[in-house]
Each structure stands twice: as structure tokens, then as C-alpha cells.
Amino acid sequence: MKQIALYGKGGIGKSTTSANLSAALGAKGLDVLQIGCDPKRDSTRMLMHGAWIQTVLDLVRERGEDTISIEEVVREGFAGVRCVEAGGPEPGIGCAGRGIIATFRLLEQLGALHGDVIVYDVLGDVVCGGFAMPMREGYAEEVYLVTSGELMSLYAANNIAKAVARLAKRSKPTCSLAGVICNAKNMAGEEDLVREFARRINSEMVAYIPRSRTVQLAEVHKQTVMEYAPDSEQAAVYRELAGRIFANDQTSTPTPLEMDELEDLALQFAEI
């Protein structure tokens, strides 16, 4: 079983990438479980044709863990992808990371953590204890950084690389860096910048996903690109990413950059 996590800055398109990746893997006939680890609970929405599935944390708050069934927690979406949303606390109250901890504990109790591939879609603006749990506790063995060429997106990706590097120093490492995914904003020099960023942190860019109106149209129709436009160029990009991730057996310990190094790198590729 491959267990992968996609981490990235909020709003970078991480959930769109995760959902289309899962859809592409599911279309290959693989048993895929996608777990949304974000309080926004929108990771699996396009796989579920726009439905907001009930979150694990909501169920636990309402009824406690003992009476919850696997059918309530795990919902089947497009291409047979099994969908879970961790959820979060009520706005302004509690720690969002606790939703992830409660979710993983319940999924283990229910025997739901199985399949050919598990995709963890994790918020990466901050790598607190809860959000770091998928890689800290060995659930996500391969970490992919989703970024664009924007400085703050690279900054978030670099912070996640720092967390992976720190965890790699433990006596029993639980995760490693599997690659960088460029979800493009169509900036000048963006592909070269992200490729060089990946190289400098001791990794590689595994995919360049161009900005495409097809993605927007698919989301308006409450579908993944893989369902809405399976013959499109954008679907082919996600299909290629799925194939590369499933076959990938090359990982590394990242060498994150200092902030001045990151700024200098961004400046090198900026058009002034």
C-alpha cells in the first residue's frame, strides 16, 4: 500500500490536485482512499459531485466514537474513490489539528485504512502537531509538496520540507520527500523556478500542472477534471502524475533553504 501526503499552502490548489490524482488512480482500477485533513472539509467535494460529506469530528462531537459506523465515515465517490473528511472545531474554538488526530484514531478502530493508495490532503500553511501527524506517525510515508512559483507558496513548501527533514533525523524515520508538484499560476519563468527550488532542496519536480479553464469548468459542474473532461489535455496531465506517483520509489531527505536563499532564488527568476 502506498501512503502519500500532499502538503501545500492554503489556496494553492492542493485539494483540486489531490481529487484529480485520486480520480486518475481510481480510474486505473486501484483501490483509493482520500482523506481530507483540512477544517474546510472540501478535499473530496468534487469526487462526491459537490456533496459536503459529514466530517469525522462532527460525528464524534455529536455521538462519541463508540456508535459511529464505517459507512457513516467513509463515502464512495467517483471512480470508486473512498472519501473521508476529518473536519475541524467550531470557528474560533479549539485546535484544527485535533480533528486529524481524532480521525486517524477512529479510522484505525474501524479498519478503514487499507487499499492500494491512501492520499492524505493536508493543509500546509502551518505544520503544527496535528497537521504534521500524517508524516510524524508514519501514515504518510511519501510527502509531495504542492507549490506555485509565488514566493509565499514556496515559503510554505520550504517550511514543510523543514518538518520532513527534522522527522528524518529520528532513530526511526517515518516519512521522506517524494517530490515537488508545480500547480502553476502561469507566471513567467515559473516552471524553471520550481524545478530549481526542487533541486536545491534535494528533490525533483515530478509534475508541472498548467493553469487551465477546464479545471474551473469541471468544478462549476461539481466534478473532477477526470470525470468532466477525460479526454482533455488537463486530464492527461493528472493521468501522467498518477502514473508517476504510483510507480515512484525514489525519495530523499530534504535540504530546506534559509529565507534569504529562498528570496534570492525567487529574485533570479523574477522579471523586473
Type of residue numbered 233 = E
Cα–Cα separations (whole angstroms), residue 35 to 84, 175, 195: 5, 17, 28
Q: Which of 2, 14, 38, 121 is catalytic?
A: 14
Is 9 labeled as catalytic in the residue annotation?
yes
| Alpha carbons within 13 A on the beta-carbon side of 7 | 33
Cα–Cα separations (whole angstroms), residue 198 to 3, 14, 113, 233, 252: 21, 17, 30, 24, 11
Is 125 labeled as catalytic in the residue annotation?
yes
Q: Which of 125, 162, 185, 222 is catalytic?
A: 125
Q: Are strands 75-76 and 82-85 parallel, antiparallel or unpaired?
A: antiparallel
Contact 248, 142 (CB under 8 A): yes
The residue with cell 506555485 is 148
Q: Which of 40, 162, 185, 222 is catalytic?
A: 40
Q: Which of 2, 9, 38, 121 is catalytic?
A: 9
Burial class (CB in 10 A: 0-12, 13-18, 19+), 24: buried
Joined together, the cell numbers standing for residue 261 give 536563499
Catalytic residues: 9, 14, 40, 125
